[in-house]
């Protein structure tokens, strides 16, 4: 049963081949057996899951239907969940039980999805390897000596290991697409504003976007359908009707204009990955797509711009975790300054502290013009590159990551080498565009 996709589960439930309760119990048993090795969950909510499964079965018995009614999922542990720990994989929030559900959590619960728990992640979604979690590194199910990618690495590892069919993630600079790529999944970062950020603990608000991780495009469409939609509680939410994301799944690719940026195939890209992408391009050509080489001339500036903007926003967003309003509080503070200092020094891990320092520096008087303002100008140039490209093509295709999953610990001494892994994904966030990663093959047994 654990091999079923969301679409197959929906059919199985509709045909009464199994109940949601049965399926949920099977998956919970599989998690108990396998997750001690993978560490993909921070919190399991078994009792709640069985309760939700029974409720979904009852709704089906009453004649209700729906692709997500009774479908098991899990949430990245930065979506607030009423009464359930929402830790952001940080000591800072180790004891935080959210007093409300995030919009995404509430919408999926209404659609009848069964949440099995909260998945592991990089601390405050900062990272590309899922090694910065307070609860320990997540392992890649394809080879447990390797990272699963990040920051939605727990969701990716759990889905890749068939512990559940799909899970939510968030993507600020690639955190849905990159772990999807490193674990052979399909992961979708929606257009900025398509999915409500209300109740999603912020990393960099102008870039963060929630989305689905699953094994197929079809399943991503199903899960996104349950997540998307205007939310008056999120001022950046798009007030547009939500299309039927499954409607075009079988549309022919004949005549689709696919742009392949020349800049994507430069040094730094593992030639074996380049070959896999070229093979995919040939397949798409066979299916009728028209391939065109394009240029994104400002792409080389994306990483430096992102690593100013994202930390700048993070330094502001994370100021609320001060041991008073939110978060861990140190023992026996001498005075208020000591309380702030020690609570934040104890509560945040090294990568989060590094980002806060970089961000506060880039925003400070005297440096703002040189860093933050310049980065924002680059952001506009990158967006303009895309606007120009989309005059010529319908979609843009390239590798998701320059390398396959690296060994756990391999990049610990050099954070910038991990930042460089985001080179293909962050432009979409800077421009607010949607982006999808789909499987393309294996290199040395790794996706």
What is residue 79's three-state secondary structure? strand
DSSP letter, residue 426:
H
Q: Give the tokens for residue 406.
A: 């690296």
Q: Which string of x and - marks every residue 304-333 that binds ligand GLN (by CB under 6 A)?
A: ------x-----------------------
Q: How far apart are CA 233 and CA 260, in angstroms?
A: 38
Shorter beta-carbon distance to ligand GLN: residue 258 or 375: 375
Q: Does 173 bind ligand GLN (CB under 6 A)?
A: yes
In the complex, the smallest distance separating the C-beta of residue 26 from ligand GLN, rounded to whole angstroms, is 31
What is residue 137's three-state secondary structure? coil
Is 65 a catalytic site residue? no
Question: Do strands 257-261 and 290-294 pair parallel, antiparallel, or not at all (unpaired)?
Answer: parallel
In the complex, the smallest distance separating the C-beta of residue 148 from ligand GLN, rounded to whole angstroms, is 13
Q: Does 299 bind ligand GLN (CB under 6 A)?
A: no
Is 76 a catalytic site residue? yes
Q: Cβ distance 438 to 399 under 8 Å?
A: no
- Among 21, 57, 131, 171, the residue binding ligand GLN under the rule CB under 6 A is 171
- Among 20, 24, 120, 151, the residue binding ligand GLN under the rule CB under 6 A is 151
In the complex, the smallest distance separating the C-beta of residue 308 from ligand GLN, rounded to whole angstroms, is 12
Piece in contact with ligand GLN (CB under 6 A), picked from 64-72, 168-176, 283-291, 340-348: 168-176
Site for ligand GLN in 180-239 (CB under 6 A): 203
Residue whose CB is nearest to ligand GLN in the complex, by number: 175
Distance between the two ends of the chain, CA-based, in angstroms? 24
Q: Does 127 bind ligand GLN (CB under 6 A)?
A: yes
Nearest to residue 268, comparing CAs of 421, 429, 444, 446? Answer: 421
For residue 259, the cross-strand partners are: 292, 396
Q: In what order do the strands lie in the sheet with 114-119?
A: 41-44, 114-119, 72-76
CB count, 10 Å around CB of 422? Answer: 24
Which entry of 76, 91, 118, 411 is annotated as an active-site residue? 76
Binding site for ligand GLN (CB under 6 A): 125-128, 151, 171-175, 203, 310, 422
Q: Provide the annotated active-site residues.
A: 76, 151, 175
């Amino acid at each position: 049963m654990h091999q079923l996709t969301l679409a197959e589960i929906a059919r199985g439930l509709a045909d009464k081949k199994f109940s949601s309760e049965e399926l949920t119990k099977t998956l919970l048993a599989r998690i108990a057996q396998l997750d001690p090795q993978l560490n993909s969950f921070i919190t399991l909510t078994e009792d709640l899951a069985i309760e939700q499964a029974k409720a979904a079965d009852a709704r089906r018995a009453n004649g209700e239907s729906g692709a997500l009614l009774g479908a098991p999922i899990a949430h990245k542990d930065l979506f607030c969940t009423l009464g359930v720990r929402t830790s952001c994989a940080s000591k800072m929030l180790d004891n935080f039980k959210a007093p409300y559900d995030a919009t995404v959590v509430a919408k999926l619960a209404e659609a009848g999805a069964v949440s099995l728990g909260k998945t592991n992640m990089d601390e405050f979604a900062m990272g590309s390897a899922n090694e910065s979690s307070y609860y320990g590194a997540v392992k890649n199910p394809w080879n447990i000596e390797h990272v699963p990618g990040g920051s939605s690495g727990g969701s990716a590892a759990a889905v890749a290991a068939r512990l559940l069919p799909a899970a939510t993630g968030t993507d600020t600079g690639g955190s849905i697409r990159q772990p999807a790529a490193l674990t052979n999944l399909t992961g979708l970062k929606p257009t900025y504003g398509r999915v409500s950020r209300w109740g999603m603990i912020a990393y960099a608000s102008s870039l963060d976007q929630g989305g689905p991780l699953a094994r197929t495009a079809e399943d991503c469409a199903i899960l996104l359908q349950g997540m998307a939609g205007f939310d008056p509680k999120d001022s950046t939410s798009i007030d547009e009707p939500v299309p039927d994301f499954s409607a075009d799944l079988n549309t022919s690719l004949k005549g689709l204009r696919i742009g392949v940026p020349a800049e994507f195939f430069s040094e730094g890209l593992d030639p074996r990955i380049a070959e896999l992408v070229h093979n995919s391009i040939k397949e798409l050509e066979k299916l009728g797509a028209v391939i065109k080489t394009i240029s994104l001339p400002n792409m080389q500036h994306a990483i430096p711009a992102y690593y100013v903007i994202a930390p700048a926003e993070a330094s502001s967003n994370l100021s609320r975790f001060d041991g008073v309003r939110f978060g861990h509080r140190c023992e026996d503070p001498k005075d208020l300054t000591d309380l702030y200092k020690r609570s934040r020094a104890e509560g945040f891990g090294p990568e989060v502290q590094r980002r806060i320092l970089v961000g506060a520096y880039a925003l400070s008087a005297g440096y703002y013009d040189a860093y933050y303002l310049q980065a924002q100008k680059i952001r506009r140039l990158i967006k303009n590159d895309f606007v120009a490209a989309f005059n010529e093509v319908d979609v843009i295709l390239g590798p998701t990551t320059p390398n396959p999953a690296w060994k756990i610990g391999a990049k610990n001494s050099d954070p910038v080498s991990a930042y460089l892994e985001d080179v293909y994904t962050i432009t979409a966030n800077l421009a607010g565009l949607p982006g999808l990663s789909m499987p393309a093959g294996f290199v040395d047994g790794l996706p």
